[in-house]
Structure 1
């Protein structure tokens, strides 16, 4: 990526410029991971630009969401800016337990990721958004490829989420079909919504979609940690994942060596926060208005200098 640096005048510039002018601990590149959804690209770009303002050398590396932990453990990758408790907490906890990965704390955004149906489906599927009502009318969601089973359109397979396991453990008459990309997922939602066609799919927040489209997240049996860890928990005594997905923080994580090699950068990463409202607005500018990730991230930085200056003044 080529990032345009816009430096403004004033007292704040003096603060950040003086910090950047100081000798950073190492000029070796700090490798930030990039994934396949706009919000994560924005979060990572904002962090990267701030680190560059502080004088650090930043490198962006494309990586799978869950598979990235292998690189974080070895130090081949350094920072992951979005680990969603909804889908990534197990992988994060396992990586932290090795002693090679650290949890840099919350980003300030709260995560919801779950099955979602548009409100117009309540006319043909009474009882929604209860999961049992959804399952009772599974045939309404069938496609030529999945009939007689209903189709659930999941996110890209790299996102995790245990949807296949959930379907099996709850005995649902659905087949999980994974969208190839984030863009494909929301293009299908837009198409179905315009036609009032049956659709049940993965939706998440913070994002513009829950605000744009009228609908509901499916209400599965409430998540508890035991649901994922203990097959005897819940309605299926033989299988785990017989519940909905957890909700919680969106976290930052990284190689344990970041704090030793780049302590100033580690402090800035820990200090990073952005609101879910801000992120939803930024993702909308990218996905709906066609603005570039770089331009939207820079606009946020220009409007929030007092916020990010504090990150690099730690």
Structure 2
């Protein structure tokens, strides 16, 4: 009789564990989506991988500023594309507080700065050195302007301060939408007309257009706080933006205990610059939907994503 109760107890425990595992799989993992292409496609790729493991997945569209509260309180559970250049302060603070987990770094390195197509070097010799722009600003002029034009997106960047500090004969033209940058690039490229505009990596542009970032004086945080630092002793921002920034993944602090295999998979997920660029190009150039782009990327990169899944998580 005692043996019977032992067997019964073990069976009940196994049943409870199985039921609990099933219930956990039913609880949706909510993935943050922001407002740029690569982040959305990568989020969909990760969602498809989790779905292959049997998890339910939902997507939560939120701004960069609002995502941190959502992640800290478990309203959202992960963000797959955290940029050092624009998110490091909040990310590092919340990781230090323990409300968000650092789920690992991608192979990809980030950069955001002025960029030009390679053919511009024919009319502006000396590029990518920023001082070349002093001698050939007129090559980047539009509509008969005597000033060169730098095309910027709708984001707040210290471009005008940099132009003043470095003595560049340029004006900033802020575009209403980030996608308008690529409209301008496409028009200029078709005409082989020199253009300099805001760009970043990883981004789809590098998979379709040859070009380079302008090499400004090397970045140092003091450049933004002490006018006496740098090539201009009077003004701030006489430097470029940081190079080789990290790209990380963030997770809700409760994710490891709630979805063990999903979290361990997330930690192994790793994208290169080229992989991210090609994924974004499927939408921005080939005009696929985000979902279709994610599915195509997964189809073309089976060995890569299957290698992210720990062996003991495969059914």
TM-score range for the pair, normalised by the shorter chain length = 0.7 to 0.9
- Report the CA distance shift for 1:218/1:265 in structure 2 as closer, same or farther (over 3 A): same
**Number of the residue aligned with 1:254:** 251
Q: Which blocks of at least 5 consecutive residues in structure 2 are unaligned?
A: 1-17
- 1:186 counterpart (166, 182, 185): 182
Whether the 8 Å contact between 1:36 and 1:181 is mirrored in structure 2 is no
CA distance in 1, matches of 2:39, 2:165: 31
- Deviation, 1:24, is 6.0
- Report the CA distance shift for 1:75/1:172 in structure 2 as closer, same or farther (over 3 A): farther
Deviations 1:101-121 (A, max 9, x none): 222111232223221123343
- 1:243 counterpart (239, 260, 277): 239
Farther off after superposition, 65-74 or 267-276? 65-74
- Deviation, 1:297, is 1.6
* SS across alignment from 2:298: helix
Whether the 8 Å contact between 1:24 and 1:56 is mirrored in structure 2 is no
- 1:155 counterpart (150, 153, 159): 153
Deviations 1:257-295 (A, max 9, x none): 333433332222111113333333333332222223222
TM-score of the superposed pair, with normalisation by structure 2: 0.77
- Deviation, 1:195, is 1.9
Structure 1's consecutive aligned runs of 4 or more residues displaced over 6 angstroms after TM superposition are: none
* SS across alignment from 1:52: helix
- Report the CA distance shift for 1:304/1:133 in structure 2 as closer, same or farther (over 3 A): closer
- 1:197 counterpart (193, 196, 213): 193
**Number of the residue aligned with 1:92:** 91
CA distance in 1, matches of 2:91, 2:232: 26
**Number of the residue aligned with 2:203:** 207
TM-score of the superposed pair, with normalisation by structure 1: 0.77
Whether the 8 Å contact between 1:32 and 1:61 is mirrored in structure 2 is yes
Whether the 8 Å contact between 1:24 and 1:55 is mirrored in structure 2 is no
Q: How many pairs are equivalent?
A: 292
- Give 1:55-70 correspondences, 5 Å limit: 55-70=54-69
Query: 1 or 2, which has the higher helix percentage?
Result: 2
**Number of the residue aligned with 1:23:** 22
- Report the CA distance shift for 1:163/1:105 in structure 2 as closer, same or farther (over 3 A): farther
CA distance in 2, matches of 1:97, 1:239: 34
- Report the CA distance shift for 1:61/1:163 in structure 2 as closer, same or farther (over 3 A): farther
**Number of the residue aligned with 1:177:** 173
CA distance in 2, matches of 1:66, 1:229: 23
Q: Radius of gyration: which is bigger?
A: 2
